[in-house]
Amino acid sequence: MTRDLFNAELRQLQDDVLTLGSMAEKAILDALESMRDGDVEWSRRIIEDDQRINKKRFEIEDRAIFVIASQQPMATDLRALASILYIITDLERIADHAEGIARINTMMEPEPLPRRLGYIPAMADRAVAMLRDSLKAYIEMDVDAAVQICNADDEVDRLQDSVYEDCIQQMVANPATIQRNTYLLWTAHNIERIADRCTNICERVVYTVTGHMDELNVSRY
């Protein structure tokens, strides 16, 4: 088996993708916790930290493009590198949604802690599990797992419906909560987009292994 140098480059890039994935996951968890605790300073730090995630994404992209130019990969190798370019874009956008949640927290008014966030923590748990599982499927190049993970997106969508109904009911019952509940709807939307991005990652796993570009789960939102 030749191409040791290429294989080493590809492994390094895959490790970097995992690192970026961990950074995005931490951003989501921190953003939700800072919202629950009403910790605006923490949210500001999360917003600043997003620059590190963007920088990491560009570093990986630069390296992947250099490997394409210098190694001129074909077939599975080429698909693996093309997929890395898409996956890092999705991970960076996932982190942007986490940053969005942190930004919402900076706009929310003070209220008794911990905040009652309804179905949002459950939604976030599912989305973070999807992110972890999709990165695992990516590293193991597990097509079956990738397809399975996308089904979890339906559950995230259902939880978003519940958040929506809950918030609307509260707004109708007490118009003074309209602003607060609007922020929660935005938060739920960010989490729903994170889950969607995870299905994109799973689609890239399937593409890397099979060469087929199929949409695995069409979001209702």
Partner 1 sequence: MSNSVDLRPASTGQRAAEGTLERPMAQAQPGAIVEPEGEIAITIENLSLWYGPKQALTNVSMKIPARKVTALIGPSGCGKSTLLRCINRMNDLIPTVRIQGSLYYHGVNLYGPDIDPVEVRRRIGMVFQKPNPFPKSIYDNVAFGARVNGFKGNLDQLVEQSLRRAALWEEVKDNLKKSGLALSGGQQQRLCIARAIANQPDVILMDEPCSALDPIATLKIEDLMRELVKDYTIIIVTHNMQQAARVSDYTAFMLTDEQVTGQLVEYGPTEELFTTPKDRRTEDYISGRFG
* 77 makes contact with partner 1 (CB under 8 A): yes
Is 211 a binding residue for partner 1 by CB under 8 A? The answer is: yes
Please tell me whether residue 203 binds partner 1 under the rule CB under 8 A: no
Residue with tokens 């009911």: 169
Q: Is 197 in the site for partner 1 (CB under 8 A)?
A: no
Task: State yes or no: residue 79 binds partner 1 (CB under 8 A).
Answer: yes
Does 3 bind partner 1 (CB under 8 A)? Our answer is yes
Of 189, 168, 191, nearest to 180 by C-alpha is 168
Query: Is residue 78 a contact point for partner 1 (CB under 8 A)?
Result: yes
Three-state secondary structure readout of 100-130 = HHHHHHHHCCCCCCCCCCCCHHHHHHHHHHH
Nearer to partner 1, 105 or 208 (CB): 208
Q: Which of 69, 74, 173, 176: binder of partner 1 (CB under 8 A)?
A: 74
Q: Which is nearer to partner 1, 74 or 176 (CB)?
A: 74
| Residue 16, CA distances (Å) to 19, 21, 135, 140 in order | 5, 8, 12, 15
Q: Which one of residues 14, 31, 64, 73 is an interface residue with partner 1 (CB under 8 A)?
A: 73
Least distance from partner 1 to the Cβ atom of residue 2, Å:
6
Q: From 89, 69, 63, select the one nearest 8 (Cα to Cα).
A: 63
Rounded (10°) CA dihedral 17, 19, 25, 27: -120
Q: Given candidates 210, 215, 220, 221, which one binds partner 1 under the rule CB under 8 A? A: 210
Shortest gap between Cβ of 163 and partner 1 (angstroms)? Answer: 41
Q: Which residues of 3-41 are buried (b: 16+ CB within 10 A; e: fewer)?
A: eeebeebbeebbebbeebbebbbbbbebbbbbbbebbbe
**Is position 220 an interface residue for partner 1 (rule: CB under 8 A)?**
no
* CA atoms within a 13 Å half-sphere pointing along the CA-CB vector of 96: 11
Residue 69 binds partner 1, judged by CB under 8 A:
no
Segment interacting with partner 1 (CB under 8 A) among 35-43, 49-57, 66-74, 117-125: 66-74
100 touches partner 1 by CB under 8 A: no
- Applying CB under 8 A, the residues found at the interface with partner 1 are 1-3, 6, 72-79, 210-212
